[in-house]
Amino acid sequence: MQKIKVAINIFLFILVIGAGFFVLPICRAEQSEVTVSDGVIRAGERSWQAFPNWRGSLSLVIGDLNADGSREIVVAPGAGGGPHVRIFSFEGRLLGQFNAYASGFRGGVNLAVGDVNSDGRDEIVTGAGPGGGPHVRIFDGAGQVLNQWFAYSKWMKSGVLVQVERGQVVTSEQDVSFGFEMPVPFHRQEHRLSCEIASLTSVLLYKGVDITESELIGLQPQAEPMEYKNGIWGDPSKGYVGDIDASQPLMTGYGVYWEPIAEVAVNFRPAHSFRGADWEYLKAQLLADNALVVWGNLYDAPLALIWQTPEGAEVLGFRGEHAYMVIGWQGDSDSPDRVILMDPLRGRRNVSFDWFLRNWSFLGNSGVVVE
């Protein structure tokens, strides 16, 4: 289903690019043809530059913005350009201009016009270009914002194509290869083996909870016994195993698994742990603006550590056990080129999809979701 959607989006993209930017759009209005090429608008006998300093593609649409019976030309730079929208008469007179998005934005603007509020005047509908979030805005002919929303998760970077069909705004993703990135802040782990609670600190900060790692450590249960002896040690699914400042190779400190971390998280936000999940699950959580801590490893071929809990259960651990956050991807969301991580030791990283899937598999595709 997703594949079909992507294919349709690419088709729409080509259609709009083709119609809007490269193939000359020909619109009959007031006995004038309007074309645009190399930044020059031609309407009837007249021609003029849309933006003197812009040589890239343009988005151009035509509508009657003031209900006087004659239509206006609305134009904006395409991908790589600024957020600048200009309105011209068919005679080439500049009637108005405004920035549809923040002035530093360089993804270009996708345009549509149509009467979306049934008042007899056409509105200008804008969609941010690739690299921008799927931010749709509706402007009147004077450049005043009448309405705005995010068509998809605001952290999607694909840009958004807009059309008006029978007074309704219709949107589609522009270029899915730009992917998604949730701006989870980096919090460097404050202890040698505190990656799990440090990752939780980051995602809670992202969720607006003002908290420190030390405060969260105070809420983290300790697994008994504290010291490894005769093959018996604590259960990481019940609490922290060993000393948080000690050593995995010496088996004086280990870490903690997803269940106790989720229990700490629910003091502040809705949260739950999971195991045996797949990429689709992670993707759906991110698109719903839920933050993720997952369990993997510092090493590509980690050494297994096996011990028994006092209750007699066998624990499978790995030297290099490590928790980090998945915050996004680049490329097709079904099978990304790269997965973007926030690592409490190493900061923002992007890794291959295969590397991530293997790393995440060591401890059974587990993690914590914080809503």
Binding site for Ca ion (CB under 5 A): 64, 66, 68, 70, 115, 117, 119, 121, 123
Residues in Cβ contact with 364 at an 8 Å cutoff, skipping those fewer than 6 apart: 275, 276
Q: How far is the CB of 54 from Ca ion (least distance, A)?
A: 25
List, in order, residues 6 or more apart from 317 with CB less than 8 Å away.
Answer: 236, 254, 255, 304, 305, 306, 307
**Least distance from C-beta 237 to Ca ion, angstroms?**
59
Rounded distance between C-alpha atoms, residue 173 and residue 134, angstroms: 8
Q: What are the residue ranges of helices labelled H in 172-323? A: 195-206, 213-219, 258-265, 279-287
Which is nearer to Ca ion, 123 or 196 (by Cβ)? 123
Among 160, 140, 165, residue whose Cα is nearest residue 150: 160
* Residue (15 or 146) nearer to Ca ion, CB: 146
- Residue placing its CB nearer to Ca ion in the complex, 88 or 228: 88
The CB-of-29 to Ca ion minimum distance in angstroms stands at 10
Please state, in angstroms and rounded to a whole number, the distance separating the CA atoms of residues 163 and 172: 9
Phi, psi of 88, deg, nearest 5: -120, 155
Cα atoms in the Cβ-side hemisphere of radius 13 Å centred on 114:
15
Whether residue 176 contacts residue 152, with contact meaning beta carbons closer than 8 Å, is answered with no
Nearer to Ca ion, 71 or 322 (CB): 71
Closest to Ca ion by CB, 68 or 311: 68
Looking at the Cβ atoms of 111 and 204, the one nearer to Ca ion is: 111
Backbone angles phi, psi at 62, to 5 degrees: -130, 135
| Alpha carbons 97 and 28: distance in angstroms, whole number | 23
Smallest gap from Cβ 32 to Ca ion, in A, equals: 13
Instruction: Output the smallest distance, CB 26 to Ca ion, in A.
Output: 20
Nearest distance from C-beta of residue 167 to Ca ion, angstroms: 9
**Distance of closest approach, residue 111 Cβ to Ca ion, in angstroms:** 15
Measured from the CB atom, the residue of 113 and 195 that comes closer to Ca ion is 113
